[in-house]
Amino acid sequence: MPKYSLVIPVYNEESTIPELYHRVSTVMDGLDDTSEAIFINDGSQDRTLQLLRELHDRDERVVYLSLARNFGHQIAVTAGLNYIRGKAIVILDADLQDPPELIPELIALWRQGYHVVYAQRTKRVRESWFKRLCAYAFYRILKQLANVDIPTDTGDFCLLDRQVVDLLNQMPERNRYLRGLRSWVGFNQIAFKFERDSRFAGEVKYTFAKSFALAINGLVSFSSVPLRLSTYLGLFSAVVAILMAILVLYWRIFTPHSTLTGFATIAIAIFFLGAVQLISIGILGEYIGRIYEEVKNRPLYTLSEVGHQKPRSSQPPDRSRSSS
C-alpha cells in the first residue's frame, strides 16, 4: 500500500507527459515513504495513452486509468479518487501549472494534522486578462452566494487526507464541483499560497465553454440564490408596473390634452416581462436539468483500460463499469 498517491488527469497532453513524469518522479524519489502516481486518461485522441502505457511498463509506481471517452476534468479526478489507495492524496494538473515540487510542503502541513491543504493562487502567470477577470469575478460571486465557504482563487490542486477522500467517494452526485465538495466536508483545512506557473506545453484544454459550464455548476450546486432571483425580478416588475399605472392615470386625469399613444410603453413592457420570464425559466431549467441528471443515476464514467500490476483485492470504483 503506497502512503502517498498523486492523482493526475490528462487530456491530450502528449507534449507535457515526458517532462511531467520527469518532475513528478523526482519528487516521488525524494518522499520519505512509498508513493504511486495515478494518471487518468480522459479520452485523449493523441498519443497520451500510449505514453502512459510505456511509463507504466517502466515504473511500477505509475498506474493509469483510461476513461472510455472524454468525461471532463472533474469526473476524471473523481475516477482517480475512486481508485487510489494512499493515506495522503495530492491532486494536480498535468500541464505543470501546479508545480509538483510543492508536494513535500503540502505533505508537511498534512503531518501537522490538516485534513485538507488547498493551494491558493497568489498570481496567475501569463493567462489572458479576460480569463483572469472572469476567474476573479466568478470566485467572488460564488463566495457571496454559496452556502458553504468556498475559498477564492483555489483550483483543484490540493492534498486530501484519506478520510476526506472516502467521504468524497461516498457522494453520489454527478455534477461534481470538487472545490466546493472539498470545502463542504469540513475538517481542518488550510490554504497554501503559491504562484501558478504557465502551462508547460500544448493548448489549454479547458475551453471557455467548459470553464463557463464549470462555473455554472459551482453556483447551482452550492447555492439556491439564483432561484430566488426570479422572485426578486418579478417583485421588481410589479413595482414598476404599479408606478406606471399611477403615472398614466395622473396624465389622463390632470393633462386632458396629452397625446399618450402608448405604443413604446407597451412594447417595452412586453419585452421586459418576456425577458424576466425567460430568465426565470432558464434558471429553473438549470436546477431541473440537474435533478434529471441525478435521477437517471448512470455511472459517472466508463473505464476502457486499467494499467495496474496486481489485481486489486477490493473494488472501490463502485460507480464505474469496467470492460477490461
Task: Give the x-and-dash track for 171-190 against ligand UDP (CB under 6 A).
Answer: --------------------
**Segment contacting Mg ion (CB under 5 A): 79-87, 92-100, 262-270, 316-324?**
92-100
Q: Is 98 in the site for Mg ion (CB under 5 A)?
A: no
| Site track for ligand UDP across 28-67, x = CB under 6 A | --------------x-------------------------
In Å, how far from its chain's centre is CA 44?
Answer: 19
Task: Measure the CA–CA gap between 257 and 320, rounded to whole angstroms.
Answer: 75
Distance between CA 324 and CA 278 in Å, rounded?
A: 46
* Nearer Cβ to Mg ion (8/88): 8
Contact (CB, 8 A) for 322 and 84: no
| Choice from 84, 205, 233, 303 touching ligand UDP (CB under 6 A) | 205
Measure the CA–CA gap between 105 and 139, rounded to whole angstroms.
Answer: 25
The interface mask with ligand UDP, positions 208-247, x = CB under 6 A, is ----------------------------------------
Q: How far is the CB of 126 from ligand UDP (least distance, A)?
A: 12
- Tell me the site size for ligand UDP, rule CB under 6 A: 17
Smallest distance from the beta carbon of 103 to Mg ion, in angstroms? 17
Residue 16 makes contact with Mg ion by CB under 5 A? no
**154 interacts with Mg ion by CB under 5 A:** no
List the interface residues with ligand UDP, window 62-121 (CB under 6 A): 70, 72-73, 76, 93-95, 97
Enter the DSSP assignment of 256.
T
Residue 306: contacted member of Mg ion, ligand UDP, none (CB under 5 to 8 Å, by partner type): none
Shortest Cβ distance from residue 70 to ligand UDP (Å)? 5
Region binding Mg ion by CB under 5 A among candidate stretches 49-57, 87-95, 231-239, 254-262: 87-95
| Site for ligand UDP contains 13 (CB under 6 A) | yes
Residue 12 C-beta: closest distance to ligand UDP, Å: 7
Query: Can you give the chain as a three-state secondary structure string?
Result: CCCEEEEEEECCCCCCHHHHHHHHHHHHHHCCCCEEEEEEECCCCCCHHHHHHHHHHHCCCEEEEEECCCCCHHHHHHHHHHHCCCCEEEECCCCCCCCHHHHHHHHHHHHCCCCEEEEEEEEECCCCHHHHHHHHHHHHHHHHHCCCCCCCCEEEEEEEEHHHHHHHHHCCCCCCCHHHHHHHCCCCEEEEEEEECCCCCCCCCCCHHHHHHHHHHHHHHHCCHHHHHHHHHHHHHHHHHHHHHHHHHHHHHHCCCCCCCCHHHHHHHHHHHHHHHHHHHHHHHHHHHHHHHHHHCCCCCEEEEEECCCCCCCCCCCCCEECC
Provide the minimum distance between the beta carbon of 16 and Mg ion in the complex, in angstroms, as a whole number.
10
Partners of residue 91 on adjacent β-strands = 7, 158
Residue from 10, 107, 181, 233 touching ligand UDP (CB under 6 A): that is 10
Per CB under 5 A, does 12 bind Mg ion? Answer: no
CB of 226 to ligand UDP, least distance (A): 24
What is the binding site for ligand UDP (CB under 6 A)? 9-11, 13, 42, 70, 72-73, 76, 93-95, 97, 199, 204-206
What is the binding site for Mg ion (CB under 5 A)? 95, 97
